[in-house]
Amino acid sequence: MQAEAPDAAHDDLTAGEDGSVDGVSAKFCVDRKNEPETLTEARREKVLEETELIRIKIAKERGELISVEESDERDLRTGAIIKAMFMRASSDLTPMVVGLPADEVEEVIQQWAYERLEEVATEDPQKFRDGID
């Protein structure tokens, strides 16, 4: 069996002016310029990555970090709480504004909205994890 010349296996490939090879974009090519050059450097990078993972784990155990999924769930619950507050607006505000002149109605509504948002901003985070009472 005869060995091929080093470039013979790739003689049929064509390079495009845009950096593509046979129509495949260069962005899919492996970037090797950031790879470690020595085994010692590779080991050092591995230790740094392991150290970072340990730091992340410790921060998570301390409650300093949460997962994206947990954050998304909390955001959805908080949004639902805010929506519920504002859906009650008409029943909360109607008795407060009956008979008031228009300029006072606006002031009452703004004050009510500010108070509701302040409740959300200063509320115990546990309430948002458990839901509103």
* Partners of residue 79 on adjacent β-strands: none
Structure tokens at 35: 């790879």
Helical packing angle, 68-87 and 102-122, nearest 10°: 150
Q: Which of 79, 105, 80, 81 is nearest to 93 (CA)?
A: 105
Listed in order, strand segments (DSSP E) in 9-87 are: none
The tens-digit pLDDT sequence of the chain (133 residues) is 444 444 454 555 555 665 555 555 555 555 556 676 788 888 889 999 999 999 999 998 898 888 889 889 888 988 888 888 888 888 989 999 999 998 899 999 999 998 888 888 877 655 544 444 4
Would the pTM count as exceeding 0.85? Answer: no
Contacts of 78 (CB under 8 A, 6+ apart): 120, 128
